[in-house]
Amino acid sequence: MRPDPAPARPVAGTSQALLTKTRAIVSVKICALIEINPHLRRVPAPAAPRNVVVGASMKTLSACLLAGFAILALPQAASAQQVAMIDGTEVTRVVIAPPKSDLAGIIRTALAEDYNAAPRDTRAWREAQKLYFSYGERGFEPLWLTESPTGAPVFSPTAEAVVAAFRAADRQGLRPSDYLTDAIATPPAGADADALAAFETAFSAAVVRYAQHLHGGRIDPTSVSGYFDLQPRRIDAADVLSRISSGEDPETVFASVEPTHREYRQLKDALARYLDGSMDRQVTIPEGPLLRVGMSDPRVPALRERLSLPAASDTLYDQALSDAVLAFQESLGLQPDGVTGPATVAALNGGTATRKEDILANIERWRWAPGEFGDFHVQVNIPEFRLAIRSGDEVTYETRVVVGTPKNQTPVFSDMIRHLVVNPYWNVPTSIARDEIGPRLISNPGYLASQNMELLYGSQVINASSVNWSATSINTFRIRQRPGAGNALGQIKFLFPNKHDVYLHDTPSKALFSRSFRAYSHGCVRVQDPFAFADALMANEPRISGASLQGMFGPSERWVNPETRIPVHLTYFTLRVDEDGTIRSYGDVYGHNARLIELMGV
């Protein structure tokens, strides 16, 4: 049995008679908290915690009442929830120590109101219950305040530790001013119970806000773009406060709610080096038009400096500079063409030239990511135009991909690969049918036939040439492309059913994979060598391989269902960190990074 924390000195004005009366009232209500009717939906007590004893009898109720009074007779209350055996029935006994000061009473009333107001069995209800139990265990005495030798309210040692964490929030990629607000700058002077309770509430809110920002970020992903389809990771606020109130070191509690991804930790290390001044500052190359041999551009001197070439008196992009760019491209696996485009500029600005703002934005996006990617998973990183399969910490397969254009962006979300489809139909999205195919049918009714497509009304195939397209909307029909060599999805697609109708697939347009910038699709992700990818993807499926899938080639669509669903994550990181800590930078293809930096105010 762990004793309660020592209660704070009662606020002036709390009489012994009032304290005795309060103790008696709470004693009765404690027993009311142990329900005997499993259908009872709300206990009509201010605090309203609920416990169900299935099959309890009147004899059990009497024992419960006696047990409740016995608990309150103890000099120090026990844990807020205890498991006990009554008449052979296991019950959860709720122990709420009575408030011993006006301040504690105010805190109790506020928590009880939150608890009663929350709809039952919701997240808010569960959090309010935990918070009520947590404070009830300590008699609702404040967590963040204590008395100085002169009797003035001052920060408790726990609060001092939390304030130290707030002051160092910039090292977490956060802003100290978001937590060290005027409301908690200093404890209120005097012993006014309302002012002290308001301080306690504001301090707890700051603690929860800080933990939430560490856990799931401080910016709503959808405020950056509607293409971010991510469920915000929510903190268990009551659990955080309960752990701190039980004596756990605040720094340890805060660290435990952060993401555990390796790259997240390494980006935080890079941020620390930046703040400490130990990260070297290399020249940054501004964005601009494509640069080829013979062109002049004001960025050329910066390029020459970045690539350690002798300075020149003009701005000519000469052969020597092109050769240096080509060598740099080859070292990073970029398309080695000696041309400086967006991908090359982004790579040149990586590593020690990385900006603080980019580090902060990518740290924030890691906080939006799922807590676990899965032991075996697929990650498509959109700015990188690459796909990787990971088994544990090892990359087992990696390849180039083509993603959506800035107009038709690939969304950012996570799902599960459930099906592989060989010889797929391509069901043309409504937007493409309306904006691209419909206008062509008006001038050329035979267009669908020329593209190996068919028109469907319900499940019936319709001759497109028989439709009066000047008087009929394309939205009345569905369009799909039959399997074949020219099919837009190629010979295989990898399905993870989602509301965006986005998936991974083959493509007949292989030439695009040779380019450094590869944002050309309508939103789906095209894979360079889909059957090599399929072979690596099916590494844990004994009945499926790249070869077995190729053996299904033909005119009919064939569905293959792996035994195990495979997590797939479509992400947007403009900085990636290698195992050795090397930071690689990629272009902000959709502008999400710039928009997030703007919203973060960094």
What's residue 82's pLDDT? 58
CA angle 557, 562, 568 (to 5 degrees): 100
Q: What is the per-residue pLDDT for 402?
A: 97
Measure the CA–CA gap between 365 and 219, rounded to whole angstroms: 9
Looking at residue 51, the DSSP 8-state letter turns out to be: E
| Among the listed residues 202, 186, 185, the one whose alpha carbon sits nearest the alpha carbon of residue 142 | 202
The tokens of 437 are what?
Answer: 């195919």
Burial degree of 303 (CB within 10 A; 0-12, 13-18, 19+): buried
Confidence of residue 81 (pLDDT cuts 50, 70, 90): low
Instruction: Return the SS3 of 22.
Output: helix
The region of weakest confidence among 30-39, 74-83, 430-439, 525-534 is 30-39
One-letter-per-residue 3-state SS of 171-236: HHCCCHHHCCCHHHCCCCCCCCHHHHHHHHHHHHHHHHHHHHHHHHCCCCHHHHCCCECCCCCCCC
Is pLDDT larger for residue 352 or for residue 467?
A: 467
Contacts within 8 Å (CB) and 24+ apart, 212-217: 212/237, 213/174, 213/178, 213/367, 214/172, 214/174, 214/254, 214/257, 214/258, 214/367, 215/257, 215/258, 215/259, 215/367, 216/367, 216/368, 217/364, 217/365, 217/367, 217/368
pLDDT at res. 71: 26
Active site residues: 505, 524
Q: Is the pLDDT of residue 85 over 70?
A: no
Rg for the chain, CA atoms, rounded: 32
Q: Which is higher by pLDDT, 127 or 198?
A: 198
How do residues 381-406 score in pLDDT, each as one tens digit? 999 999 999 998 899 999 999 999 99
pTM of the model: 0.75
Residue 477 DSSP SS3: coil
pLDDT at residue 555 is higher than 70 = yes
* pLDDT per position as a tens digit, 329-348: 877 777 789 999 888 888 88
Burial of residue 337, with CB atoms counted within 10 A of its CB: 0-12 exposed, 13-18 middle, 19 or more buried? middle
pLDDT for residue 171 is more than 90: yes
- For residue 181, the tally of other CB atoms under 10 A from its CB is 14
**Does residue 497 or residue 57 have the better pLDDT?**
497
- 485, 515 Cβ separation under 8 angstroms: no
Q: Is the pLDDT of residue 363 over 90?
A: yes
CATH number for region 372-425+483-600: 2.40.440.10
What pLDDT is recorded for position 196?
Answer: 85
* Residue 80, H or E segment: none
Return the percentage of the chain with pLDDT > 70, whole number: 83
Residue 58: pLDDT over 80: no
Per-residue pLDDT for 19 more than 70?
A: no
Composition of the chain by helix, strand, coil, percent to 5: 40, 15, 45
Looking up tokens 């005997």, which residue turns up? 36
Output the pLDDT for position 134: 79
CA nearest to 457, candidates 440, 480, 425: 480
Query: What integer is the mean pLDDT of 419-429?
Result: 94
Residues 6+ apart with CB under 8 A from 472: none
The residue that leads in pLDDT, 475 or 60, is 475
Give per-residue pLDDT as tens, 228-260: 999 888 998 888 998 998 889 999 999 999 999
- Spans of all domains in the chain: 16-120, 145-258, 300-348, 372-425+483-600, 427-482
The mean of the pLDDT values for the chain is 83
For residue 151, the model assigns a pLDDT of 81
